[in-house]
Amino acid sequence: MLAIFGHLFDPVTLLAMLAGIGLVALFQNGVGAMGRAFAALRPLLRADPGRDRDAARAAMLQIDQVAQLRGLSCTDRVKTANIFLTDAARKLANCDRSEAFELWATQLLADRAQRHAAVHRVWLSIADAAPALGMAGTVIGLIGMFAAMDDPAALGPAMALALLTTFYGVVIANMIAAPIAARLADLSEREVAWQREAADRMLAIARRENAPLRRAAMREGA
């Protein structure tokens, strides 16, 4: 069994496959997206949007209470470990109009969803490229095998190349790239969902707190 697994590892073939897949993904997505795609692997296992959502809901209760008791300008005093909530509370405290906060939140979430989609596309392109390059390696191996029919000693390496490239392509696509893409898509959907929920809640708070000021301004204008 160990001997079989030993035959499955060919450093040269594997490096050639990885280099080809990397070049295809790079040409399709660009350097920036490639960098973000591999940087996204770091929080892949530790990310927990459900925990972040619950923490955001608890923070929103505090922000709501502070807004009612002290006004919107004090909402940035609510302490939270989440960067999005910290930035949103600071923006809420410094916005004179609820429309400005709405525009900021909408643009921020749209940009974040776009970045997440770009990272997702990188891993999908890797999953698509791996089997294709594996098949190309198989064809090359078969050509070498047929070209060396008169040399039995060369048939084995050529056949190994033909099979290994297909094997590597299947493993990289279906056991690495595709699961990563699916996981990132799920994390992105859940993260953007709770952040949109928090932004909508803050917008409702801003409109509630600004309503008396608007009515007063309208009366003065009349």
Task: Give the DSSP H/E element, type plus range, for residue 219.
Answer: helix 178-221
Q: Write down the domain spans for the chain.
A: 11-212
Check whether 147 has a pLDDT greater than 80.
no
- Cα dihedral 68, 73, 77, 78, rounded to 10, equals 40
Check whether 2 has a pLDDT greater than 60.
no
Model pLDDT for residues 96-134, shown as the tens digit of each residue: 788 888 999 999 999 999 999 999 999 999 999 999 999
pLDDT of res. 29: 94
pTM of the model as a whole: 0.82
The Cβ-side half-sphere exposure at 58, using a 13 Å CA radius, reads 10
pLDDT of res. 195: 94
pLDDT of res. 141: 79
Across 27-55, average pLDDT: 89
Question: Average per-residue pLDDT in the chain?
Answer: 85
